[in-house]
Amino acid sequence: GQNIDQPTEMTATEGAIVQINCTYQTSGFNGLFWYQQHAGEAPTFLSYNVLDGLEEKGRFSSFLSRSKGYSYLLLKELQMKDSASYLCAVSDYKLSFGAGTTVTVRA
Amino acid sequence: DAEITQSPRHKITETGRQVTLACHQTWNHNNMFWYRQDLGHGLRLIHYSYGVQDTNKGEVSDGYSVSRSNTEDLPLTLESAASSQTSVYFCASSARGPTEAFFGQGTRLTVV
């Protein structure tokens, strides 16, 4: 099975940086995904890590350490539209999700 | 453009009734998944399929069933709806292997 932990809520100021941590214990691993979900909408793909290290995509970066069972999502230059839930998911071909982290961006 | 669609978007049903939620994708993806999302639990996997005639149980499969007769569709059936099955249901699909999954817009089901 999968055990995936991430903080429930985080609050940050517009223009700031926020780091969302995710730890996991899994029986199988083919990669780690991050999804964004705005209230009332479907999750949308943000990033994918299968090897250790940092993947950067514009204002969003994701890091993976397979030996530590650890990932983080870094959101830079926060904007109001970044207020959403961020879901960490581990793949063993099917995706298992953490409970999600709700990020609130304040002006 | 390829897409994944769910129907209905909202449904209210009575306890004990059989309910089927539809999921249709035009990505030609092999993998299809059904999740439910409840406050405090995130997305939990109900059933999944890796291809036609293949179905597998997820972590919360009791009271649900699926069938995969073609590539495009994976309907989810609640055999006898219970109030505990009130939730938002998401269907997703992905290509073969650990690739990103695309989600439908969700179905909000209320069992009264």
pLDDT digits (tens, 9 = 90+) for A48-81: 999 999 999 999 999 999 999 999 999 999 999 9
pLDDT band of residue A27 (cuts 50, 70, 90) is confident
Helix (H) or strand (E) holding B96: none
| Pick from B82, B78, B80, B97: nearest CA to B29 | B97
Using a CB-CB cut-off of 8 Å, the residues of chain A touching B102 are 45
Residue B98 has its nearest CB partner, among A45, A91, A97, at A91
Pairs across A and B, CB distance < 8 A? 54
Q: Is the pLDDT of residue B78 over 70?
A: yes
Kindly state the average pLDDT of the residues B36-40. Answer: 91
pLDDT of residue A1: 62
pLDDT of the residue at B12: 98
Which residue, A78, A77, A98, A80, is CA-closest to A88? A98
| Cβ–Cβ below 8 Å for A93 and B50 | yes
A-chain CB neighbours of B45 within 8 Å are 94-96
| CB-CB under 8 Å, B40 with A99 | yes
Residues of B in contact with A97 (CB under 8 A): 35, 42-44
Whole-number Å distance between alpha carbons of A88 and A101: 9
Contact (CB<8Å) A99/B42: yes
- Asked which of A24-28, A75-79, A82-86 is least confident by mean pLDDT, the reply is A24-28
Residues in B 14-53 with any Cβ partner in A closer than 8 A: 31, 33, 35, 40-45, 48, 50
Average pLDDT over chain A, rounded to an integer: 95
Query: Is the model's pLDDT at B57 over the cut of 70?
Result: yes
Give residue B2's pLDDT.
83
How large is the average pLDDT for residues A9-17?
A: 97
What's the rounded Cα separation, in Å, for the pair B102 and B71? 15
Interchain proximity A42–B41, CB inside 8 Å: no
For residue A16, pLDDT beyond 70: yes
